Structure 1
Amino acid sequence: MSISKELLEILACPQCKGEVQLTPQGDGLICPRCKLLYEIKDDIPIMIIEKAKRLE
């Protein structure tokens, strides 16, 4: 199961409060402004800045 569109619309990057986008694989959320990847584990997005992966 993936994240619903309704949830995706209200989620925001905890760092910049900007919009996040679902990865093509559906396994994470990307903040294009901060270049951070927030993983999704067991259908729950882990929206903790310290646990996010930096994208290069």
Structure 2
Amino acid sequence: MERRVNGVDPKMLELLVCPLTNGRLTLDRERNELVSERAKLAYPIRDGIPIMLDSEARKILD
């Protein structure tokens, strides 16, 4: 049986990329977000579903 990561299928996490940069995303388990370092955005995961809309993303401040 596959183990889900924050309610998300781990195989799906491997396939997802940032919709703005097409770059790699990293999982922030504590905040339940997928982070794009290049875009400086964090996409929320709600009910096990990554919300990959830049309008829903949190801006990462330096």
Query: For residue 13 of structure 1, what is the aligned residue in structure 2?
Result: 18
Instruction: Report the Cα distance in structure 1 between the residues aligned to 2:28 and 2:58, rounded to whole angstroms.
Output: 13
Amino acid aligned to 1:23: D
What is the CA RMSD across the aligned residues, in angstroms?
A: 1.4
C-alpha displacement of 1:26: 5.7
- TM-score (norm. length: structure 2): 0.80
Structure with bigger helix share is 1
Q: Would you identify which runs of 4 or more consecutive aligned residues in structure 1 move more than 3 Å?
A: none
* Gap regions ≥5 residues in structure 2: none
Aligned residues with identical type, % of pairs: 34
Instruction: Report the Cα distance in structure 1 between the residues aligned to 2:58 and 2:18, rounded to whole angstroms.
Output: 13
Amino acid aligned to 2:27: L
